[in-house]
Structure 1
Amino acid sequence: MALGFLLAVLSLAHLSLGGTIFTDPAQVTKNYDFIVVGGGTAGSVVATRLSENPSVSILVIEAGVADNGTDSDIIYTPLLAGTGIGTILDWNYTTTPQSGLNGRALGYPRGFVAGGSSCINSMIYSRGPSDEYNRLATVSGDFGWSWLSLLPYIFKNEKHTPPWNHRSNLGEYNPLAHGYGPLLTGLTPTVYEHDRLVIQTTVDHPLQYPFNLDLNSGNGLGFGWLQTSVGHSVRSTSASTYLRPALDSRGNIDLLLHSQVIKLVATAPNTFNAVQVAQNAAATNYQFTASKEVIVSAGAVGTPQLLMLSGIGPAQQLANVGIASAIDLPDVGNNLQDQMILTLQWEVNGTTMSSFYDDPAAYNAALAQYALNKTGIAAGNPVVNTIGFMRLPSNSPLLDGGDPAAGPNAAHYQLAFLGTFYPNEGQSSPTGGNWMSIAIVVQSPTSRGSISLTSSNAFVHPSINPAFFTTAFDIGTAIQAVKTAKAFVATSAWNDFIIAPFADTAALTTDAEIEAYIRTYSTTLKHPTSTAKISKSSDQGGVVDQHLLVKGASKLRIVDASILPSSVAGYPQAEVYIIAERAADLIKATWGLL
C-alpha cells in the first residue's frame, strides 16, 4: 500500500515537471519573467537556455502550429525537406515585383510552426567562415561575437552523427570541428558518382578548386562534403532538439501556439516589456507582461513588422499607416538582404537520383520503408552531398568598388552539386535519362531591400522587397558563377560522365545570354537577414546594440537573423543557432542568472 502510494506521488511529480502548451491566449493566466516572441530557430534556443535556471519563468508565443502535429512527417522525414513550403507550415509571404527578375514576384517561405524555418528549410548546416563572425564582432564593437569567442557556443549547439547506414565518412569531415550539443548533424548515407567526381576535381586541380575537409571548421573556402541537420534518420530542428525537450522536463517554460503578437506595449516610457496577442484580426486581444524583458525572435520579416506596428521604426513610414512614433529608428525594416539560387543541368552517364524521382512507386516504397524502420533513401539528405565556396579573382573589376564579403576567407559565390534534374521555377523538365544539376548562389550580395508596412493591421502581410540583382556586383558575380560551374564539369574528370548539357544550359555562351537566364529563372534561397541590424551602441545607425538590445528601448531585445549586418557566406540557420546560444548567456548575465 505504502509503495503504491509512493509510486503514485512520484508519477504525479514527474508529470508536474513539464511545461504547459496552450492553444488559446485565454488559457494563459500565469505571470512570466521572460516572454519570447517566436518559437523558431532562435526563439527556441533562447527560451530553452533561459529555462535551465529554475528560478525564472518563460512564455514562448508562436503564431504557427505545433511541429509534432498532423504534418510532422513533412517536417521530420529528410526526403520530404522543402515540401512544407506553401502549406500550413509556411507564412506564405510574397515579394513585390522584382525589377531585377523581369518583374517577377516570388513566393517567400518562412516557417509558420514551432521550430520556425528550421522545420521547412533544406536542412543545410553551414556555419560560414570565421570572417563572418569576426565581422559581427567588428560591426558591434564586441569581441564576444568573434569566431574564437563563439567556439564554446558552437560546440554547445551541435553534434556530428553518423548516417543511418553507418557508412564510413572518414576523411569527409573533421571531428575536432564539432561539439556535443543537442542539434544533430551528419553527412550523406549514399555517395554517388558525381560526388566522387567533385572530389576528384579537387585532387586534379587543387589550386583552382581546393578541397576543404570540413566547411564548418571556420575555413570558408573550397570544395567538400555538405553537412545537414539530420541525425539518427530524422531532421533536427530547434523545436525537436531544444524547445520540446525543455517543455517535457521543466515546469518553468510554457508555449502558446496559434497566437500572434500584434504589438509590443510600453509599460513605462520606452519600456517595452509587454505584448498584445490575438489569434486573428477579429479575435479578442490579450496582454501579457514580462517582469524582466521581452525577446523578439520573429525573424527577418516578422521582427521589423512587429517593431513598426509598435511605433519603433522610421517615423515617417509609420505615420503613413497611422502609427504614432515611439522610437524613431530609421534602419528598422531596411537593409534587407537575401541570396538567390539558380540551377544548370547536364545529362550524365551514370546513376543519379533522377530515376528515383521519376518513379512514383520507388518514391512511395522509400517512404513506406522509412515509416517502418527509419532507413533507406528517405532517411538522409538524398540530393545535395557536395558543395563549393569560391571567391572572385582578386583583380576582378567587380571588386573595384570594394569587397562586400566579410573577409578574405569568405566566399563570393557557391556551387552546389545536385544528383537529379533540378528545374528552375517555370522551366520545363526532360522525361527520362540520368541528370545532375549545379546550383549557383551569390553568397555576398550588395543589393539591399526592405520590409515595410502596408497597414497598421498585424494580420496584413508587410511589403517585402529584397531588391534582387539590382547591383552590378550581384549580377556580375552570378555570371561568373555560371561560367565557373561550366568550367568545373569541363575538366578531365568529367569526360566519361557528362553526356551533354540540357538545352537551356547549352545555350549560355555569352554574358548577355547568361544574364537573361539568371533574371528569368533565379529565385530566393530563403535567407533573409539584416532588417534590424546590429551596430555599436555609439553608432547613429542600426537597430540593436552589441547586447542585442533595441536602441532607445528598455527591456526589449532581438535575437534572430534580422540582427546580422549582412548576408552570410554560409547558411544562416547555423549562425542563428550560434548567436542564440550566446544571446541566452547575455540575457542571463543581465539579470544575474548565470
Structure 2
Amino acid sequence: MVLTALVLLISIACGSARLVDSIHAINESSYDFVVVGAGTAGNVLVNRLTANPNVSVLVIESGENDDGVEGLIVPFLAPDNLSNTSLIWNYTTVPQTALDNRTLAYQRGRVLGGSSSINFMFYTRGPRADFDRFANFSGDEGWSWDSVFPFMLEDEDLVPPVDGHDTAGEFNPAVHGTSGPIQTTLTGTSFPTDSLILQTTSVNSTAFPFNIDVNSGDPLGISWVQTDTGGGIRHSSAVGYLHPVLTRVNLEVIANAHVTRLLNIKSRQEPDMRGVAFYSRSGFVVYARKEVILAAGAINTPQLLMLSGIGPSAELESLGITPVIDSPAVGQHMQDHPLFAVVWSSPNSSFTLDASLRNTTFVADALEEWVTSKTGLFSGVGTNLFGWFRFPPSSNIFSEFKDPAAGPTAPHVEIIFNALQNQFRSFAQPIPDKGSYLTATLAVSSPASRGSVKLTSSNPFTFPAIDPGFLTHPYDLAAMIEAIHIADDFFSQSPWADLQLLPFGAFANATTDDLLASMIRSEVTTFWHPCCTARMGANSDSSAVVDSNLLVKGVNGLRVVDASVMASLTAHLQAPVYAIAERGAALVKLAWDI
C-alpha cells in the first residue's frame, strides 16, 4: 500500500494528545496497589480498582501515551504498527531450531494499551474446552467457561457495524455484552469473496459448516469476524478502560518508566515483594500497601520475576542474582501460535482487491472516507470471515500423535481468508506488482510445542532470550500440513471455479508433504500470542508459578494478571486476557474487601 503521502490525513483524524496532562510524575511513595504495565490486562485492573474512591492506584508503563499517535486507531493500518519502533518492544527470538535456525521479529506493545494498541483487533474468546482445562489444571472451577463467561460479558459492548447493515444471522446477541468498556462489532465493509465463502459453507456443510457466533464457546466452523473496532476505530484497553478514568483523583499513571525489579521489603518466613523499583530519567522506588500486581505480559512478567529473585535458583545465581525463592517454572511452558500463509493466483481480478490496493487514488479515497465518517475499507481489519477446524478422530495424525487440544470444542487449526492488508499476503515473499491473488493465513490452534523466556543478564535493560520453540514438537508441523490441505480443499469447492485458482510461489512447487514441510519451516512466523510463562496451577504443582487466585506462590504481596498466567494457549489472546483481568480484578477486590 502507498501510504506515505497520507500521514497528514491520519494526523488530522487522530487529533492531538489530549491526555498528556494526566500522565505525570508520581506524588506519593506508597499506594494501595501498584500495577506494573498499562496494557491489555493492566488497564482493566486500574479501571475496576479505582472505581472505589478510597483505593489508590499507581500504574507504571514503560511505553508512551497512545493518544494522538498517528494511525494508531485506524483499524486497516494495524500491520504498520509492528514496524513502528516507538510503539513496540523490538524483540527478536533466539534462532528457531525447527525453522531452519531463523530468528523472528517478536513485537510486543510498548505504549498505553500494550499489545491491544498494536494488534490485529480480532475479538475471540476461545473454546469452552480451553477454559475448562484451565479449571482442571488449577483445581479451581472459578476458571471454567461457565464461571468466566460473566466476566467475558463485562468487558464488551457489541455495537452495530459502521455501515448499519442488518446483522441478523451473523452473530448471536445472547452471548454478548452490551455495556462494557470495549466496543466490539462486525464488519462494516463487504468483500467480493464473502459470498463465495458463505456459498462454500452451503455446498459442503460437513467439512465447512457455518457457525453463527465464534464467541459462543464452540468456535468450530466458519464465522463472521468480530473485532474491537466499534465506530470504525480501534478500541484498545487504553481507549476503553484507561482514558475514561484518568480524571479519578485516586489514580496516577506514569508513562515512559521502566520497572527494573521488585523489592523484598521485609525479612520474615515468606518474602514480601511490595516494593517496586523503576527508572524514569532517574531511579525511583514506590511501595504497595496491599499488593503489587504484575500485568507486564508474557515476556516482561517472567523477566521481572527473575530479575527480582523469583525463578530457577541456579540460573539466577549464575547471573549474580540472589534468589528470593526457587520457582523453576518462571519463564517456562511458553506457547504461541505458529502462523503461515499460502497463496493462490487467479486470472479473474473481479473477486480480489489487489489492483485497487495498488491504486494510490483508491487508497487515498478510502482513507478520506475513514477520516470523514469512520466508514469504508479503513474501518475494518481487511478480512470478514474465518474458520476454526478439528481433525476427525480417524485422522492419520492421531495414529502418530496424542491430540493436544483441550476437548471437543477446541480447534486444531485456524484459517483466516484474505487476511489483513492485501488479497496477497505472505511472510516471506514480496508483494507482486501485478496479478490477482487469494490468501489463506493458517495457524496451529492447539500446538504441542513449548518454549521459554530466560534471562541473559542481570541488567534490566537487556532483553531476555525469547524462544517460542515453534514446531519443535513434530505434531505442529503435521498439523500445519493438514491445515494447508484443508485450505486447498476449501478453495477447490465449486463456488470458486470461476476464479481458476492456482497455487502461487513456493506453494506451486510444494507438491508433496515433504516439500510442504520444507516450505513451512522456511516461512512460519509468530501470531504474536505468547502466554503461559508464569502459569496458574495448584499450590502443590511445581510447574505453576501462581495459584488459582493468581498470587505468586511462596511470596507475599504479589499477584500476576496477564497472559502469562494461562495454563495453556487459547484463541487470539486479547478477549481471553480481558476476561482473565476482569476476574483477576474481582479476586483482588474480594481479597481486600473492596
Shorter chain as normaliser: what TM range? over 0.9
Give me the whole-angstrom Cα distance separating, in 2, the residues matched to 1:242 and 1:557.
Answer: 20
Which residue matches 1:340? 338
Which residue matches 1:123? 121
Is the CA contact (8 Å cut-off) linking 1:37 and 1:60 kept in structure 2? yes
Give me the whole-angstrom Cα distance separating, in 1, the residues matched to 2:60 and 2:22.
Answer: 10
Give me the whole-angstrom Cα distance separating, in 1, the residues matched to 2:135 and 2:72.
Answer: 34
How much has 1:285 moved relative to structure 2? 1.6
Which residue matches 1:13? none
Give me the whole-angstrom Cα distance separating, in 2, the residues matched to 1:45 and 1:289.
Answer: 21
1:175-232 Cα shifts (integer Å, max 9, x gaps): 1111121111111112223222112111111111111000001112111111111001
Listed as ranges, the matches of 1:165-244 within 5 Å are 165-180=163-178, 181-244=180-243
Which residue matches 1:502? 504
Seen in structure 2, the aligned counterparts of structure 1 residues 294 and 438 have a Cα distance that, compared at 3 Å, is same
Which of 72, 75, 78 lines up with 1:75 in the alignment? 72
How much has 1:20 moved relative to structure 2? 7.0
Is the CA contact (8 Å cut-off) linking 1:341 and 1:523 kept in structure 2? yes
Give me the whole-angstrom Cα distance separating, in 2, the residues matched to 1:446 and 1:273.
Answer: 36
Which residue matches 2:273? 272
1:139-184 Cα shifts (integer Å, max 9, x gaps): 1111111111112111111121122111222111111111121111
Q: Please give the TM-score of this superposition, normalised by the length of structure 1.
A: 0.93
1:159 matched to 2:157? The reply is yes
One-letter code aligned to 1:418: N
Is the CA contact (8 Å cut-off) linking 2:228 and 2:235 kept in structure 1? yes
Give me the whole-angstrom Cα distance separating, in 2, the residues matched to 1:490 and 1:98.
Answer: 33
1:355 matched to 2:355? The reply is yes
Which residue matches 2:441? 439
Which residue matches 1:110? 108
Q: Secondary structure at the match of 1:122?
A: coil
4+ runs of 1 displaced by more than 6 Å? none
Q: Secondary structure at the match of 1:276?
A: strand
One-letter code aligned to 1:78: P
One-letter code aligned to 2:278: V
Paired residue total: 566
Which of 287, 312, 315 lines up with 2:313 in the alignment? 315
Which residue matches 2:289? 291
Which residue matches 1:588? 589
Q: Secondary structure at the match of 1:101?
A: coil
Which residue matches 2:559? 557
Give me the whole-angstrom Cα distance separating, in 1, the residues matched to 2:505 and 2:74.
Answer: 33
Structure 1, unaligned stretches of length 5 or more?
A: 1-17
Which residue matches 1:370? 370
Is the CA contact (8 Å cut-off) linking 1:41 and 1:237 kept in structure 2? yes
Give me the whole-angstrom Cα distance separating, in 2, the residues matched to 1:19 and 1:547.
Answer: 35
Higher mean C-alpha deviation, range 532-541 or range 346-355: 346-355
Give me the whole-angstrom Cα distance separating, in 1, the residues matched to 2:576 and 2:511.
Answer: 37
One-letter code aligned to 2:384: N
What is the percentage of aligned positions where both structures have the same residue? 41
Q: Secondary structure at the match of 1:334?
A: coil
1:139 matched to 2:141? The reply is no
Give me the whole-angstrom Cα distance separating, in 2, the residues matched to 1:411 and 1:150.
Answer: 20
Give me the whole-angstrom Cα distance separating, in 1, the residues matched to 2:152 and 2:298.
Answer: 22
How much has 1:375 moved relative to structure 2? 2.5
How much has 1:336 moved relative to structure 2? 0.9
Higher mean C-alpha deviation, range 370-379 or range 301-310: 370-379
How much has 1:557 moved relative to structure 2? 0.2
Higher mean C-alpha deviation, range 336-345 or range 191-200: 191-200
Which residue matches 1:487? 489
Which residue matches 2:13? none
How much has 1:397 moved relative to structure 2? 4.1
Structure 2, unaligned stretches of length 5 or more?
A: 1-18
Q: Secondary structure at the match of 2:41?
A: helix
Give me the whole-angstrom Cα distance separating, in 2, the residues matched to 1:536 and 1:30.
Answer: 34
Q: Secondary structure at the match of 2:539?
A: coil
Q: What RMSD over aligned residues (CA atoms) do the two structures have, in Å?
A: 1.6
Which residue matches 2:82? 85
How much has 1:31 moved relative to structure 2? 2.9
1:225-267 Cα shifts (integer Å, max 9, x gaps): 111110011111000000111113x211111100011000111
Which residue matches 2:515? 513
Give me the whole-angstrom Cα distance separating, in 2, the residues matched to 1:431 and 1:95.
Answer: 31
Which residue matches 1:466? 468
Q: Please give the TM-score of this superposition, normalised by the length of structure 2.
A: 0.93
How much has 1:23 moved relative to structure 2? 4.7
